[in-house]
A and B are shown apart, each in its own frame.
Chain A
């Protein structure tokens, strides 16, 4: 749907882009929003008394309101602009968890998490002696509430999970998990990088304590993302970055006072163009409707999986996942060789471990090809992809 809004398709008419889990194309309105900031109303935010600066403040703080409504947060004070999901997760771990958790406390993750929901925890384990352990996955490599219940113990203080994982693509039962955890006073941190762009997010209904996501995976620009935390926790975040924009006053006597939320956690000049691009992306997605996008992607996914089954030497690793992510290999062919073969036909898929280096323990294969779909993909593109894959006897002829 809406392909005419994306100049990438106009400029690359033969391109089939199936790597939306990595990043997405930008509609014209997002590019215009960034362009307008640099050509019509460039100014810094939260400073001047002149009209241009006031306009930027309105747009910048207005975006915070838009993000708040987009994920259904209670207050715009709970929305912090960051560089992206990785940045947001690191801030959660090092601004808050570092002080909230004590030696011996347990954090549960899974082996299917992205590096950015693994390595900050590993570092904190080294730094303050928390224990990072793994929730076992079921036979489809998914998290279930039952499996979680089996490993929760008196030391468990935090569970940190992707809503949708970037390799298996399973949609985790976050609402049920949150309800169970909160009965036991355990916090829930959610990596929303692969979910927020593809389905309606509701942090109140799901009762999510912390959420991280990126603009560039949801039609927005790179370098901008969001950190959400419930206000009672966000108040306790100790800033990692100090400087302009986050202080209320400071004196030569070393007396310092910092601003209230959210600005206390946004030191330095913000990525204003990024924020305005994110604003435009959210408005664009909302105009189409997240539920409609989710339904459409699901239809595409079902179609893709059913058609992949037509090819005898294709192995699909996540047949039962519900998201638009499908991982596969051609039997006996290294994933990178398959992706190079597809590239010959202008089909972009990702080959590798997808920054999820522990998932190999689960699916028993180190490298895979990943198709990740988005709203502008079509059944016709899938047909072309299947046609090329069916012809894989000539793979080496093409790539060598």
Chain B
């Protein structure tokens, strides 16, 4: 991905994040991930019905990487099944961990392909999916 385009994509998702608001509806599962190594503090709200993510939002204060990655994640998981979201997560983790991955599956997530070069920022980049996984665990335990 072109460097300028990559930066613009991150900044745009950071300044105009997708689905960023507090949700009070009890049908949404809420999870928070305070990143222990930094100060990102994100609440994720996910509504799952019959194994399908029907809606999702996030709220909180976080750095540009975490905010943008959460925005991009939400754009890409709504309407997907939990299993498909987990497959996407696995592919994304492979990229972040510098393993072999299929970039055609990752779309805008390719903006973070070089993040592994900065160890401290890897944690920010995986924070959205870590939080998402928490909501899935809650969903599965309540099923």
Chain B interfacial positions (CB closer than 8 Å to A)? 6-7, 10-11, 38-41, 61-65, 67
**Complex: A351 Cα to B41 Cα, angstroms:** 13
> Which one of A351, A366, A396 contacts B64 once the chains associate, using CB atoms below 8 Å?
A396
Q: B39 contacts A399, CB within 8 Å? A: no
A367 to B: closest C-beta gap in Å: 5
Docked complex Cα distance between A334 and B10 (Å): 14
Write out the residue numbers on chain B whose beta carbons fall within 8 Å of the beta carbon of A336: 38-40, 63
Chain A nearest CB: distance from B107 CB in Å? 18
Contacts A334-B62, A334-B63, A334-B64 given; indicate if A400 touches B41 (C-beta within 8 A): no
A397 touches B63 (CB 8 A): no
Interface residue? A352 (CB, 8 A): yes
Q: Using known A-B contacts A366-B61, A399-B64, A400-B64, determine if residue A335 contacts B39 with beta carbons closer than 8 Å.
A: yes
Task: List chain A residues, Cβ under 8 A from B10.
Answer: 396, 400
A133 CB-CB contact with B under 8 Å: no
A61 at the interface (CB under 8 A from B): no
- A353 to B34 Cα, complex, angstroms: 13
Check B61–A367 contact: CB distance below 8 A.
yes
A146 to chain B, nearest CB (A): 34
Chain A residues near B64 (CB-CB < 8 A)? 334, 337, 396, 399-400
> A353–B39 contact, CB under 8 A?
yes
A residues near B62, Cβ cutoff 8 Å: 334
In the bound complex, do residue A400 and residue B63 qualify as a contact, i.e. CB atoms below 8 Å apart?
Answer: no
Q: List 8 A-B contacts (CB under 8 A).
A: A337-B63, A337-B64, A340-B63, A351-B39, A352-B39, A396-B10, A400-B6, A400-B11
With a CB–CB cut-off of 8 A, which chain B residues contact A367?
Answer: 39, 61
B17 CB, nearest partner CB in chain A, Å: 12
For window 334-359 of chain A, which residues contact chain B by CB distance below 8 Å?
Answer: 334-337, 340, 351-353
Identify which of A351, A353, A366, A397 contacts B7 (C-beta below 8 A): A397
